[in-house]
Chains A and B, each alone.
Chain A
């Protein structure tokens, strides 16, 4: 805990500079410049999401249901020649039946450093996005501690596979954030991911994957299973 005095002293100076007594409560101006985007159908949102995500450098695959999803992931892993895949517990069932590929599951209870090293050595990470944002092609990842979702799974491997439920595509950040506002407590880590890791720091020349994954493949599932 910060020393109460120190904090009050710091805040008091601001209050004095602002030259008024400190209000007990204030209300921010109510603003919604995105109102003109609110009327859309699910099909619109899915279409826009795919377009924007691809523009941001991600690859988008549409799949009908979880069964075809499993088949597609299996064939993609083989096509990409991956030997080691890292995933969350909840997405591990999607990899059941893949042969010849080592599946590592992120476990909150296992040794931290050992797992990070393992993540570092994996060819691909597989996770599920909580939400998609149509207007920017963004994936929203919740690092919900109750489900032991590791942050490193979507970060350390050079390639990222992400499963997204088509019903969970919102227009933009605001409607999703509104749901967060209703929550008492934020999750410790919330990630908005749009396309691969990119940099143009060397002579303005675009280069992918400098820190995070250099390739992002999104599976939009039309009818998600349980």
Chain B
């Protein structure tokens, strides 16, 4: 069983093995670099084109901060307006409740097949496998997600889910599906996916989507895609289920304009994606397409535990992936090594917060604290500071992976000298920046970074495989 399959089955191998496999995967190494450079370059051009990018960031941050600070008010308004437009609203505290709610709807509709458009929350709850166990066919309609699904793997990037798959692997998967040998041409592979997916869309009983933004003032669910698969999922099937994180709210349409601008420019460098679709309730009298029923499931699943804490701003995230595209650690280990649904810096912060430290103790260390993620974030979440906070909290709750089996010296020192934490962060950020600015990555070491890496290695216990590897690989790279 490949590492990816193990991850998809929720039997994660240890972090060490995950990173090792990634580093020894030559195609993954090449593909991740190429993809990061492409998306990051696009974002840089989009920033320059808009001119006052920093001003936009400040406004986007202010909107997100205000929204999360008043989430109870806006969720009330949003869900009331969804109902006024004829939709049905459900609330789910846990992933099990999401699964129960979807199962209820599936049973009531006697549904046999579901088409899905990319939804990170449904990945959180492992919806596909649970539906399949109940004999319901689930087809991922985003091309990248479809590839990953055929391979029975998990996405490795939130915008480009299948970057770890090469053309030959994709051709094999599609040829198996097609029952005949397809060529390796992108056009032919895409044409096959289009044709196959059309049949699935026309037959599907239910379309499931995520929600990029829920506009409170009108109760509209806004979906952002380049392929148009979210339009397909909300035009053809008779029932539409929206699975959305409870923080995915924009107060007004005018706020949406700011957030959309930031989302697409930060994700791919596009001024806007090919499709932005706003759905307000199900189809109405006089319409022949669109769903007859619309269900909106508002999901907590660990999110409310961040409210009122120092981690509240993590809920400001708009899921653009910009932090992933600048991260030197992601560049080396790809998405699967993170083990959770969300890779990269946002994943390293979010996963332990959503699921607790247990099983995720290494993630806050999957970072060089260079601060590139913080600089890239369109809503100005200080991600590398949150990683530090998590490390400190982890020590405090004794939930470190090394607490029993390893020397705890480094942490002891740190725990006694919290100012070292501060220093490590500030230094890392300050020193990393001038180098990171040229290419966005710390490829220049050891040189002036030597002192920095040395001092930062101090708090890290001897046997952290990731650290060892990073030191070795980082030098090779430079």
Chain A positions within 8 Å of B, measured between CB atoms, are: 1-2, 6-7, 9-15, 17-19, 22-23, 25-26, 28-29, 31-34, 36, 52, 56, 106-110, 112-113, 115-117, 120, 135-138, 143, 145-146, 148, 150-152, 155, 172-174, 177-178, 180-181, 185-205, 207, 209-212
B83: A residues at CB distance < 8 A: 1-2
Contact B166 A203 (CB under 8 A): yes
Contact B289 A6 (CB under 8 A): no
A25–B76 alpha-carbon span in the complex (Å):
11
A10–B97 alpha-carbon span in the complex (Å):
13
Give, as a whole number of angstroms, the nearest-CB distance from A17 to chain B.
4
Give, as a whole number of angstroms, the nearest-CB distance from B86 to chain A.
8
Contact A34 B257 (CB under 8 A): yes
Contact B279 A6 (CB under 8 A): no
Is B131 engaged at the interface, CB distance under 8 Å to the other chain? no
- Name A114's closest neighbour in chain B (CB-CB): B288
Contact B231 A174 (CB under 8 A): no
Contact of B144 among A11, A143, A201 (CB under 8 A): A201
Is B242 engaged at the interface, CB distance under 8 Å to the other chain? no
A10–B101 alpha-carbon span in the complex (Å):
15
Given contacts A7-B89, A195-B274, A211-B227, contact A106 B258 (CB under 8 A): no
B59: A residues at CB distance < 8 A: 29, 31, 33
B202: A residues at CB distance < 8 A: 113, 116-117, 120
Given contacts A10-B93, A23-B70, A23-B73, contact A199 B226 (CB under 8 A): yes
Interface size on B, residues (CB 8 A): 99
B409-431 interface bits toward A, Cβ cutoff 8 Å, 1 = contact, 0 = none: 00000000000000000000000
B232: A residues at CB distance < 8 A: 155, 211-212
B395: A residues at CB distance < 8 A: none
Q: Can you list 17 contacts pairing A with B, beta carbon distance less than 8 Å?
A: A10-B246, A17-B305, A36-B52, A116-B289, A117-B202, A145-B283, A174-B257, A178-B254, A186-B220, A189-B277, A191-B278, A192-B278, A201-B144, A203-B166, A209-B194, A211-B229, A212-B227
B52: A residues at CB distance < 8 A: 33, 36
B282: A residues at CB distance < 8 A: 188
Give, as a whole number of angstroms, the nearest-CB distance from B100 to chain A.
13
A28–B93 alpha-carbon span in the complex (Å):
27
Contact A15 B274 (CB under 8 A): no
B168-206 interface bits toward A, Cβ cutoff 8 Å, 1 = contact, 0 = none: 001000000000000000110110011001100010000
A211–B274 alpha-carbon span in the complex (Å):
11
Contact A204 B56 (CB under 8 A): no
A189–B87 alpha-carbon span in the complex (Å):
13
Q: Which of B65-111 contact A (CB under 8 A)?
A: 66-67, 69-76, 79, 83, 85, 88-91, 93
Contact of B258 among A22, A33, A137 (CB under 8 A): A33
Q: Which of A56, A108, A137, A201 has the most CB of B within 10 A?
A: A201
Contact of B91 among A2, A31, A52 (CB under 8 A): A2
Q: Which of A107, A110, A113, A189 has the most CB of B within 10 A?
A: A189
Is B442 engaged at the interface, CB distance under 8 Å to the other chain? no
Give, as a whole number of angstroms, the nearest-CB distance from A151 to chain B.
4
A174–B260 alpha-carbon span in the complex (Å):
11
- Name A17's closest neighbour in chain B (CB-CB): B307
- Name B73's closest neighbour in chain A (CB-CB): A26
A172–B70 alpha-carbon span in the complex (Å):
28
A-contacting 9-mer, from B31-39, B363-371, B379-387, B450-458 = B31-39
Contact B85 A185 (CB under 8 A): yes
Further 20 A-B residue pairs, CB within 8 A, beyond A34-B257, A192-B275, A210-B190: A2-B91, A10-B75, A31-B255, A33-B55, A33-B59, A108-B286, A112-B288, A112-B289, A145-B285, A151-B231, A151-B290, A188-B283, A194-B275, A195-B274, A202-B170, A205-B186, A207-B186, A209-B194, A211-B227, A211-B229
Given contacts A201-B142, A203-B31, contact A136 B170 (CB under 8 A): no
Give, as a whole number of angstroms, the nearest-CB distance from A211 to chain B.
4
Give, as a whole number of angstroms, the nearest-CB distance from A176 to chain B.
9
Q: Which of B37-65 contact A (CB under 8 A)?
A: 38, 51-52, 55-56, 59, 62-63
Contact A186 B280 (CB under 8 A): yes
Contact of B308 among A17, A26, A109, A155 (CB under 8 A): A17
Is B147 engaged at the interface, CB distance under 8 Å to the other chain? yes
Is B139 engaged at the interface, CB distance under 8 Å to the other chain? no
A191–B83 alpha-carbon span in the complex (Å):
21
Given contacts A116-B289, A151-B289, A152-B289, contact A28 B275 (CB under 8 A): no
Is B160 engaged at the interface, CB distance under 8 Å to the other chain? yes
Contact of B286 among A52, A135, A148, A211 (CB under 8 A): A148
Give, as a whole number of angstroms, the nearest-CB distance from B159 to chain A.
10
A210–B194 alpha-carbon span in the complex (Å):
5
Is B401 engaged at the interface, CB distance under 8 Å to the other chain? no
- The 8 lowest CB-CB distance pairs between A and B, nearest first, are A212-B228, A201-B144, A17-B307, A177-B253, A145-B286, A192-B276, A186-B280, A211-B228
A135: B residues at CB distance < 8 A: 271
A6–B75 alpha-carbon span in the complex (Å):
13
Is B235 engaged at the interface, CB distance under 8 Å to the other chain? yes
A136–B275 alpha-carbon span in the complex (Å):
12
B147: A residues at CB distance < 8 A: 201-202
Given contacts A1-B83, A18-B69, A33-B56, contact A145 B253 (CB under 8 A): no
Given contacts A189-B234, A202-B170, A211-B197, contact A18 B228 (CB under 8 A): no
Is B236 engaged at the interface, CB distance under 8 Å to the other chain? yes
Contact B258 A148 (CB under 8 A): no
A116–B283 alpha-carbon span in the complex (Å):
15
A32–B162 alpha-carbon span in the complex (Å):
37
Give, as a whole number of angstroms, the nearest-CB distance from A34 to chain B.
7
B287-305 interface bits toward A, Cβ cutoff 8 Å, 1 = contact, 0 = none: 1111000000010100011
Contact A15 B72 (CB under 8 A): yes
Contact A210 B283 (CB under 8 A): no
Contact A115 B275 (CB under 8 A): no
Given contacts A210-B193, A211-B232, contact A190 B277 (CB under 8 A): yes
A44–B174 alpha-carbon span in the complex (Å):
47
B143: A residues at CB distance < 8 A: 199, 201-202, 210
